Amino acid sequence: MSTETLKIAVQKSGRLFEESLKILKDCGISIDNGRDQLKVRARNFPLEIMYLRNGDIPQYLKDGVADIGIIGENLLVEKGGDLEILQKLGFSKCRVSLAVPKGTEFKGLSDLEGKKIATSYPNTVNEFLEENGITADLHMISGSVEIAPNIGLADAIVDIVSSGSTLFKNNLKEVHTLIKSEAVLAGSPVMGDAQRLLVQKLLFRLESVLQAREARYVLLNAPNEKIDAIIKVLPGMRSPTVLPLAEQGWSSLHTVIQKEKFWEIIDELKSLGAEGILVCPIEKMVL
């Protein structure tokens, strides 16, 4: 195998699988295979995709079997040690949280002293307890952690939480967040120089895709006498493009803004005379 191939580990099943392949494809990388093979080469980029169990990816990175990997930040904290985060990817956002039965009064972290805590994240929880000077009895569970309080195995749990619906169904309430997490691209500490150059090329593509996901292309029409006022409220990239319309005294303004900013300024734009406002998604954005 060529030494100029970049090996990336992705989850072979689970919540990160689909989004991991999607972001690679959005980077222009053609992948023919899905879940059927454990290893496949991309057709148009020197990338080899390895489909692995999620919990195995950190060790593959440490050992240099994989050069980079897409994993949850929570798993990186639990098993990754000093593995480097090369890029946060913005999907599969969740948190590792402490939860207790709904009927339990919880005044603060000191209530955990001497209690039994069930979790799939023992390293994360132990570090958290040490930082807060708490002594508790940890029960390691690899499966359905949320049932532990219901069967008398634990007084509280620490587990991954997305919507909170699983906690609700098991009569639990979330009382404290230990860490916030999202999918990240992590790098191997023993990656070769040739692979690091390829990583830089991939990161350039990823950054272009991620920037585009958070931005929107905005077009609007406005009377010429209102253009200066409208430009002042547009939180866009440098100066917007202004083009004259066929109708005398009117122009079209084109700009890029962060998608969450649009709704903050829409009413102000309309009050300043903006009409025909069009908001479009952006596929790629290179700054």
The reply to whether 27 and 65 lie within a common domain is: yes
Helix 17-26 vs helix 193-213: angle between axes, to the nearest 10 degrees? 90
Is the pLDDT assigned to residue 31 strictly greater than 70? yes
CATH number of the domain bearing residue 246: 3.30.70.120
pLDDT of residue 3 exceeding 70, the answer is no
Question: Has residue 79 been placed in a domain?
Answer: yes
Positive or negative torsion for Cα 79, 14, 185, 144: negative
pLDDT exceeds cutoff 70 at 33: no
Residue type (1 letter), 236 = G
Give the confidence band of 14 by pLDDT, cuts at 50, 70, 90.
confident
* Residue 204 belongs to some domain of the structure: yes
pLDDT-wise least confident of 146-150, 191-195, 233-237: 233-237
Q: Which of 158, 181, 204 is the last residue of a domain?
A: 181
In the chain, which residue ranges form alpha helices assigned H by DSSP?
17-26, 57-63, 73-79, 122-131, 165-169, 193-213, 227-233, 259-271
Give the pLDDT score at 82: 79
Tell me whether residue 51 is in a domain: yes
Q: Are residues 154 and 269 in the same domain?
A: no
In a domain, residue 10? The reply is: yes
Whether residue 25 is contained in a domain is answered as yes
**What was the pLDDT predicted at 65?**
95
Same domain, 99 and 234: no
| pLDDT level of residue 237 (50, 70, 90 thresholds) | low
Assigned domain for 287 exists: no
pTM: 0.86
Lowest-pLDDT range of 17-26, 148-157, 259-268: 259-268
Q: 164: alpha, beta or left, given left = phi > 0 and alpha = psi -120 to 50?
A: left
- The answer to whether residues 86 and 186 belong to one domain is yes
Confidence of residue 142 (pLDDT cuts 50, 70, 90): confident
- Domain identity same for 69 and 102: no
Contacts 24+ apart (CB under 8 A), 205-210: 205/27, 205/28, 205/29, 206/23, 206/27, 206/87, 206/89, 207/87, 208/27, 208/284, 208/285, 208/286, 209/23, 209/26, 209/27, 209/284, 210/87, 210/89, 210/90
Q: Within this chain, do residues 73 and 25 fall inside the same structural domain, yes or no?
A: yes
Mean per-residue pLDDT of the chain: 92
Together in a domain, 98 and 87: no
Q: What is the pLDDT of residues 85-105, one digit of tens each?
A: 999 999 999 999 999 999 999
- At which residue do the structure tokens 């692979």 appear? 195
Who has greater pLDDT, 33 or 106? 106
SS3 sequence of 242-285: EEECCCCCEEEEEEEEEHHHHHHHHHHHHHCCCEEEEEEECCCC
Is the domain of 106 the same as that of 86? no
286 domain-assigned: no
Q: Is the pLDDT of residue 2 over 50?
A: no
The CATH number linked to 49 is 3.40.190.10
Q: Which pair of tokens denotes residue 124?
A: 């994360």
110 and 80 belong to one structural domain: no
Mark whether 113 and 167 lie in a shared domain. yes
Return the minimum-mean-pLDDT range out of 28-42, 157-171, 175-189, 241-255: 28-42
| 156 shares a domain with 43 | no
How much is the pLDDT for 1? 39
Residue 234 has pLDDT above 60, yes or no: yes
Looking at residues 117-146, what average pLDDT do you find?
94
Please tell me the total count of domains within the chain: 3
Q: For residue 144, what pLDDT is reported?
A: 86
| 204 shares its domain with 224 | no
What band does 236 get if pLDDT is binned at 50, 70 and 90? Answer: low
Question: What pLDDT was estimated at residue 34?
Answer: 55
The rounded distance, in Å, linking the Cα atoms of 255 and 48 is 38
> Residue 43 has which token pair?
């057709």
| Domain containing residue 119 | 94-181
